[in-house]
Structure 1
């Protein structure tokens, strides 16, 4: 029983791969009313859901130029960048098909939920895109909440790209990317189609799709006359996309590149998961770096010379249904190369080194037709990943600086003096207060640097999901943000910018709050305890106006309920209840009828004269 190694400690049974492809193609031939096929085999450790493809232009693009839309976060809450709070984008038609045909299908939901064996989702062509979304949906809906469950697996064959860079980033952050394995023939055009805007292929697209449709009466041996133009247009757009991405990988800051981008429509789609490239010579090349995969999708698809155009255009269509034979031949010999440490790839096919590993790599890259420029781009992708890891290691070394020991001691010192940390810092009477402010500014610089790296995607995708950084960010936010708020209102910045929570709150706190809310699957904004003092200050200002208490009663009640909950949950300190705290001084001025019924009185340790 042979296995294909697709990553460190990750192998897939080759019989399962062949079975999945067989069912993926079989799904095409089922009734159009059938949304999927479920295959259960006695004695096996898995079940397979396979999804059919679709073959009209409207099944690919809904709107120009690329037909993408923001992901539905109700269905896919993880598909976003947490820190900068940006939603992933996905092909609109693929998403809608999944929603209409699969996620609302009660039979599918029941079978997926109740299955105890490993679930394999598979699809060929656009069926692969549906299987991708089904896998993510299953991970979100069921697998995440059941630590004992077997992880699902998604196997696609000739599948078009489905989402953008945030889609890819989110799957790597959640550590779900290894569950997606995409098989791609060297010249198969379908995985590259969405790198081209619909306007560039509109004339040829429907005839090509009709040719690719397994149910078509058109003889598969008669390549449509539109093939050459279609291939050329897709290839040129893929090349433009890869060239622009390569410039970014290499840190090119040329203003001409930025100017060209304004006039060139570039595809938003980006690979994710692991790609297994079939070279056509019974060899497999495997890699998981999404930047490198994008380069390989382009460079392996290009012509060596113009005379090849018609032949390659024909192969780009024929190979879309050649996976069965190709994989069978590959698995008989199982000559597979896992490309890792991309920054060390040989740049020349004529390398004189005696290393057998280099010889093997050179042979595989040659089979994919990779030029020196293509190899440079793969190396650049590897260097970028290496640089991200280096950035992560650098900030890991700063954890001692971020440990906040001084501010923790400062907080205890304030408590011993009968004054909460917030109020002591706001008054700024002692040397300790001044030194605490210096430390606050030092920490702000460190965290702002981290947030800027996140915005530029200069850290590994998994960073935002690391528990140690989520915990450290939460500790920092709860300890230091009250000091920022005290400084904000001490200097009356609210008179200039407006309320702290609306205009004055730094991204370092918004970001770390979202980390915690995402990790604990809590609603957005529910971990706002570090903004408590800002809410108090704003209510003090409003409450002191001529309007009095009545117009703000609901907000006062809400603040009190939150304070009670946060104190009981031990995420807000009881120093807010000290007699001379800003909160208690304000609270004691409220109407007696309100105070008598207030939930604040129910907090353990509450005393109206406490110190």
Structure 2
């Protein structure tokens, strides 16, 4: 028996909210108005402190064979920083449909559009971007731009986006980036059962042959005409059926993980509200959404695909009262579990019966979507337990640091580990360093392979733990790197030896919400040096001194001196701000050795200054 908790918790809450407010009705009303009265433009309406911005579905976008394949471009291209706050989705390039991005940029670069948005941000508490067909894609990018801008400028306006029959917009890293920023709940895409446009770009690019392109042109013409939808009624049935069958076959292959799965470049994001005459269902799991895009289409429904694209009004009208009647009868065979009952009600609302071939696939899809969500939560809990288990390892390294700082050798934490002899204490600390690295590498791998919740890396518990780990352990990583002479084989640590985990943790720390207390100046030195790469910079500076002594070319000597001087200034600023720990000042530490070596070199250069006129007095402290 399945678990009793709702498998649609977040997405069904969103659907209920939409059905119980004027959002759906008002947004569709304005979409219809934009389609008829503002072709290739947008319309604005206000209801109290809520502003609606609707983009017309009548837009012009290039439909060359290359463009109809849905060429993807980096979302940052040509946007002048509009999407700077959007992170890399799993480290890969976040890409969107080139033609749809160009449509958005036409509005973004418009002074009228910018002025309207500025008025809304200054005067309203909430803004709802909406659009039908191609207008839905522009609405999504507009909402994404404003969300990105809010994150940068700390505005308090709430942003939401509702689209109707909108095409796919970007690749899987694009979807992942939105999830990571916790913006998925800001988007709801309403899709009619047989509407072709939301499914069109799931077709792999290599299937866009000349015949397919000709069919796509017919569809595109009908959807972008000033007589929106009228030409579509004149498309020959055989052409319409041919296009429908091709798309259906490709979506089926994609939904079942076939060989075309990887060649289709587009991926859903946000929540999808699927509509029929009998009800709606809302999903926020991307894999489940793709499967439902297939399950809800059936052979012989090609004649409905254009009608469904144009008749979202009737679904909006029914959505509210259908939710009130949603507690209708359930087959007694499913009454043993509220989980099974919920799935049955969902499938009934989509007019899927047990006799339809896609019924089993749709039911399995909902079950798997729920299981995947539960598994991520379980993995979260597992990582929390594992984090607690590694705490003793971290504590032992902290103890080792305190021991080194108090040692009579006066080497400090970094140099004690770098110059350690064979001992039980040193071996144990080194093994703890390795085991901690295993834990964090596993966590990052699980996060980037979608096995943890998408906002996992924003949880303060893990952001703070990762930062503490980095400050405590990375000096040991640097010490081991130089102890083994890796810098002579590969180059210096920061550029050639730094583990990927530390670079990821840098970003986590930069992206955190900073409290006012963090801006207060320090009254005493830090327990851990706040630049985890400080000792790598010391090693590079000492190496520059060594290279300078053997360098004869004047230009190279000048560059080396500049690097040394820059590090000295940087180190001084850290010390003045008390962002270094006590081990930096240990009598025999590498930093003190650097200071002595640099002082000696400057004294020599002062004596030889007539021979080095480029070395100014200001460089000698």
Q: 1:32 to 1:356 in 2, by over 3 A?
A: closer
| Aligned with residue 87 of structure 2, among 60, 77, 80 | 80
Residues 144-543 of structure 1 aligned to structure 2 (within 5 Å): 145-146=153-154, 149-197=156-204, 199-200=208-209, 201-213=212-224, 215-216=226-227, 218-219=230-231, 221-225=233-237, 226-244=239-257, 260=259, 266-281=263-278, 283-303=279-299, 308=300, 312-335=301-324, 351-353=333-335, 358-359=340-341, 361-366=343-348, 367-369=350-352, 370-403=358-391, 404-417=394-407, 418-429=410-421, 431-519=424-512, 529-543=531-545
Q: 1:461 to 1:500 in 2, by over 3 A?
A: same
Shift of the alpha carbon at 1:177?
A: 1.2
Bigger drift between 379-388 and 214-223 goes to: 214-223
For each residue in 1:508-552, what CA deviation from the matched residue of structure 2 results, as whole angstroms up to 9, or x when unmatched? 21211121123369xxxxx99212222222232232121285331
Whether 2:105 is the aligned partner of 1:102: answer no
Counterpart CA distance in 1 for 2:179 and 2:158 is: 15
Counterpart CA distance in 1 for 2:576 and 2:379 is: 38
**1:89 aligned partner:** 95
Q: 1:266 to 1:296 in 2, by over 3 A?
A: same
Q: Which has the larger radius of gyration?
A: 2
Counterpart CA distance in 2 for 1:103 and 1:170 is: 24
Shift of the alpha carbon at 1:276?
A: 1.2
For each residue in 1:163-199, what CA deviation from the matched residue of structure 2 results, as whole angstroms up to 9, or x when unmatched? 2222222222222211111111111111111111451
Q: 1:8 to 1:378 in 2, by over 3 A?
A: closer
Q: 1:363 to 1:471 in 2, by over 3 A?
A: closer
Shift of the alpha carbon at 1:62?
A: 5.6
Q: 1:357 to 1:464 in 2, by over 3 A?
A: closer
Q: 1:566 to 1:158 in 2, by over 3 A?
A: farther
Q: 1:358 to 1:443 in 2, by over 3 A?
A: closer
- Secondary structure of 2:243's counterpart equals helix
Whether 2:69 is the aligned partner of 1:68: answer no
Conservation of the 8 A alpha-carbon contact between 1:424 and 1:433: no
Conservation of the 8 A alpha-carbon contact between 2:203 and 2:251: yes
**1:140 aligned partner:** 148
Conservation of the 8 A alpha-carbon contact between 1:60 and 1:93: no
Shift of the alpha carbon at 1:352?
A: 4.8
Shift of the alpha carbon at 1:473?
A: 0.8
Shift of the alpha carbon at 1:101?
A: 1.7
- Secondary structure of 2:277's counterpart equals coil
Conservation of the 8 A alpha-carbon contact between 2:49 and 2:124: no
Query: TM-score under structure 2 normalisation?
Result: 0.81
Shift of the alpha carbon at 1:89?
A: 1.7
Q: CA RMSD in A?
A: 3.2
**1:524 aligned partner:** none
**2:56 aligned partner:** 52
Conservation of the 8 A alpha-carbon contact between 2:52 and 2:128: yes
Counterpart CA distance in 2 for 1:437 and 1:486 is: 11
Query: TM-score under structure 1 normalisation?
Result: 0.82
Conservation of the 8 A alpha-carbon contact between 1:103 and 1:109: no
Counterpart CA distance in 2 for 1:68 and 1:46 is: 34
- Secondary structure of 1:480's counterpart equals helix
* Residue segments in structure 1 that go unaligned for 5+ positions in a row: 245-256, 339-345, 522-526, 602-611
- Secondary structure of 1:87's counterpart equals coil
Q: 1:520 to 1:334 in 2, by over 3 A?
A: closer
Counterpart CA distance in 2 for 1:437 and 1:357 is: 49
**1:253 aligned partner:** none
For each residue in 1:540-578, what CA deviation from the matched residue of structure 2 results, as whole angstroms up to 9, or x when unmatched? 223212128533122223323332344455554243233
**2:518 aligned partner:** none
Shift of the alpha carbon at 1:124?
A: 0.7
**1:250 aligned partner:** none
Number of residue pairs matched?
554
Counterpart CA distance in 1 for 2:133 and 2:572 is: 55
Shift of the alpha carbon at 1:26?
A: 1.8
- Secondary structure of 2:124's counterpart equals coil
| Aligned with residue 585 of structure 1, among 579, 593, 596 | 593
Shift of the alpha carbon at 1:434?
A: 2.7
**1:37 aligned partner:** 43
- Secondary structure of 2:234's counterpart equals coil
Shift of the alpha carbon at 1:48?
A: 0.6
